[in-house]
């Protein structure tokens, strides 16, 4: 195993925290190669006046190998 780097990204979804995580990793993989793991550091949700969740947000730490 080589040298690893960790970055932090934010992602959101109107469906679930899992989808927000998948979307964040998919978008990051367009420019980052060799992503090895995603750690969900924090989760939050936006709630409207009616008490309904309208957006799920995750703060992710992505680890990737530098080659």
| The model's pTM | 0.88
How far apart CA 29 and CA 25 sit, in angstroms, is 6
DSSP states of 41-67: EEEEEEE-TTS-EEEEEEEEEEEEEE-
The domains located in the chain, with CATH, are 4-65 (3.30.1660.10)
Reported as a pLDDT band with limits 50, 70 and 90, residue 15 is: very high
Q: Pick the more confident residue, 2 or 15.
A: 15
pLDDT at 51 over 80: yes
* Closest among 38, 33, 31, 37 to 17, alpha carbons compared: 38
Residue 40 in contact with residue 17, Cβ under 8 Å?
A: yes
Q: Per-residue pLDDT for 8 more than 90?
A: yes
Average pLDDT over residues 16-23: 97
Phi then psi for residue 19, to 5 deg, are -65, -40
């Amino acid at each position: 195993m080589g040298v690893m780097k960790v970055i932090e990204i934010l992602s959101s979804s109107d469906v679930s925290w899992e989808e927000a995580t998948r979307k964040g990793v998919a978008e990051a993989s367009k420019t980052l190669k060799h992503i090895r793991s995603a750690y969900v550091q924090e989760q939050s949700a936006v709630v409207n006046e009616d008490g309904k969740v309208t957006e799920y947000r995750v703060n992710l730490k992505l680890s990737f190998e530098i080659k």
